[in-house]
Amino acid sequence: MEFNISQSVRREDVPDKIAGIAKYIGDYKFKDMLYARTLRSTEARAIIKNIVFPKLPDGYCIVDKGDVPGRNRVKIIDYDMPFFADGVVNYIGEPIALVVGKDKRVIESILSQIRVEYQRIEPILSVEDGLNAEKPIFGDNNCFSDYTISKGDMVSAKRRAKFVYEGEYETGYQEQFYLEPQGMIGVYEEGKVSIYGSIQCPYYVKNAVEECLGFEPYRVRIVQTTTGGGFGGKEDYPSLIGGQVACAALKTKKPVCLIFERNEDIEVTTKRHPSKIRLKSYIDENYRVLGMEGDIVLDAGAYSGLSSVVLQRAMFASAGVYNIENLVVRGRAVATNKVVSGAFRGFGAPQAFFAIEMHMEHIARELGIDPFEFKLSNILRQGDRSTTGGLYRDRILLPEMVNRVIKMSSLEEKKKAFKEKRKIGKLNGIGLSMFFHGGGFTGSGERDHIKGRVRLVKDDKGYVEILVSNVEMGQGAGTTLRKIAAKTLEVPLSKIIFNNPDTDRVPDSGPTVASRTTVIVGKLVQEASEKLKERWSEDRVEVEVQYKYPEGFYWDNDRFEGDAYTSYSWGVNAVEVEVDPTTCEVKINGVWAVFDIGSAIDERIVKGQIDGGIVQGLGYASIEVMEDRSGKIMQRKSTDYTIPTSMDVPEIKSELMCEPYGGGPFGAKALGELTLVGAAPAYALAIEDALGVKINKIPVRPEHLMEVVQNGK
């Protein structure tokens, strides 16, 4: 059956969600199921001297480090984070134990009676203190990761430079704020543990639980339940609570349910890494950026988590969309006694692109030249080299995309009109950002670590089931993968089945992260479908394929040299704002965007990702304020931590341009994370345009704007 791959179709997951019959983790009920709540640290850094528990009623128990039969460390990248605190605590909210029983009110009463005696240690509460720590949390230098990338000849670049510009840029926390909180249920039956949960990465949880329990792989099963959003927040954290409910189920021999309250979820789960980025650029007399030195510092929190790879992506994006041939960038992920920072849509790139886009604008302003001309004269083109020396093989459509956004937004006309309006007190501005996102895991991650596999099974009635570990969590993955299979097999979409993954049934095709589901797993689905098509006449057929690193690409993981990504997606955003001259409150009047994601697999899904990503990026830049005080998150309620609502969403006009990627299904490239990356710098640049000041920090708060305006900086 022939159909247009970009044409939108009805998503199979939508009717049940609209009707309210989709089964989320909170809807699961098992016979004799118990409930759990977490005893958490109230100190940022301390030795646990003693814990006094009250007398427990019959049917209630405590689960702690003594109930971990295997390794009391969560398998993420390193093994530093415990499932349950082991003698020390390193952040407020760190799990010490579970209280498990039949009645939630009784559990709360027990929790209120537990007394933990601490010997307090002076905590490290800033990256500055972390970099100069007398008593490090981790290692000798208190850095979970300390990397340097370089290319070209910086000595020569410095010698030839006529102008030098240096700037420092800062970004804050961001909370994923998925609609459905973290939740898991552990079930122990006949020597086997099954974990049901709201997750992005079933095999991540499986690997962590196996090590936690010391079980062989066949004794651990992970089932993804319908998942109400993730944005990276359900990539690493579910491995922690998956191990906890597994231990509880093993101890009680009954199903145990652990679902977070909203405030608890906000306070203790992973966030986007706060960052401080210094950039120093060397420019010649023709306004060509000859070289750049960068220093990126991420606040990793108390444990390493995914910080090393978040840092790598931030470093690799440090030069933005600009061809800077001589480069030295150092990156450090610093340990602090705060909540663990983790995966979040964009994965280090939003921090880096905010810095480089503001930096390039500020250089142009300092030199007294037009920012657009300056940026476009330094822009990447096909055949140029990336920050790690990788080759940009495909056409880069940024000049055309910029021109299109300028026309869509009437940018040039508005800039002239806004200057006139300022004479009568109206403060309007418009800003434009350019950015990219590398599809899939960084470097050789797909080849050496993930090694994704996809299986298709056709029954005797011609129905084909896609068996992958990638999850549908609202982003449309189930529909996208089904369309790829149906298009390749030339069969009706109704003949393709996609169910939530169960690790007893699906191979490990890798996690649902890194904008890899369509470009990497979708390509494997296409390849498997082509093989299946050759055997279509057989009654029942099972086909499996595994990822192969594409020929012609190169990556040295020890030196961080070569092709950090095998494909790139590109974006241009323009944001128009109006700033109240009295209160410095900012209103967004419109957003215009053009993206190159190769071929769109489903235009409605793409549009949803664009609108959602842009709004999330605007929230990051503006109203999503999250701070800590003495190591404690202050905005820990849905009323305190403000995210954009439908009333805050401006009109968003978006278009697509297409430079297809030969290694993607039907020419598709990465989409999901790209759409968030450019909104923050475009927003900040629009405010700069309105006020004529420099902004070096997000979120941009009215009280900070007042200070900047008063200081004239």
Secondary structure, 3-state, 403-469: HHHHHHHCHHHHHHHHHHHHHHCCEEEEEEEEEEEECCCCCCHHHHHHCCEEEEEECCCCCEEEECC
Residue by residue, DSSP assigns 482-498 as HHHHHHHHT--GGGEEE
Q: Calculate the CA 165 to chain-centre distance.
A: 31
Q: Say if 327 falls within a structural domain.
A: no
Q: Say if 381 falls within a structural domain.
A: yes
Query: How much is the pLDDT for 147?
Result: 98
Query: How much is the pLDDT for 422?
Result: 83
Tracing tokens 């995914």 back to the chain, one arrives at 306
C-alpha distance across the termini of the chain, in Å = 62
Cis amide leading into 217 (omega within 30) = no
Q: How many angstroms separate the CA atoms of 302 and 90, rounded?
A: 6
602 and 703 part of one domain: yes
Q: Say if 340 falls within a structural domain.
A: no
Query: How much is the pLDDT for 424?
Result: 79
Structural domain for 527, as ranges:
14-21+445-546
Query: How much is the pLDDT for 200?
Result: 98
The list of the chain residues with pLDDT below 50 reads: none
Q: Give the DSSP H/E element, type plus range, for residue 543.
A: strand 541-546
**How many folded domains does the chain comprise?**
3
451 and 380 part of one domain: no
Query: How much is the pLDDT for 713?
Result: 54
Q: Say if 131 falls within a structural domain.
A: no
Do the bridges between strand 163-171 and strand 88-89 make them parallel or antiparallel, or are there none, so unpaired?
unpaired
Question: Facing residues of 334 across strands?
Answer: 143, 299
Query: How much is the pLDDT for 1?
Result: 56
Query: How much is the pLDDT for 712?
Result: 64
Query: How much is the pLDDT for 348?
Result: 98
Query: How much is the pLDDT for 367?
Result: 97
Show which of 259, 288, 303 is a domain's final residue.
259
575 and 462 part of one domain: no
491 and 524 part of one domain: yes
Domain CATH number, residue 378: 3.30.365.10
Query: How much is the pLDDT for 420?
Result: 86
Show which of 259, 286, 305 is a domain's final residue.
259
Q: Give the global pTM.
A: 0.97
Alpha helices in 86-179 (DSSP H): 104-113, 127-131, 154-160
Q: Say if 514 falls within a structural domain.
A: yes
528 and 610 part of one domain: no
Show which of 259, 285, 309 is a domain's final residue.
259
503 and 602 part of one domain: no
Q: pLDDT tens-digit profile of 467-486?
A: 999 999 999 999 999 999 99
692 and 590 part of one domain: yes
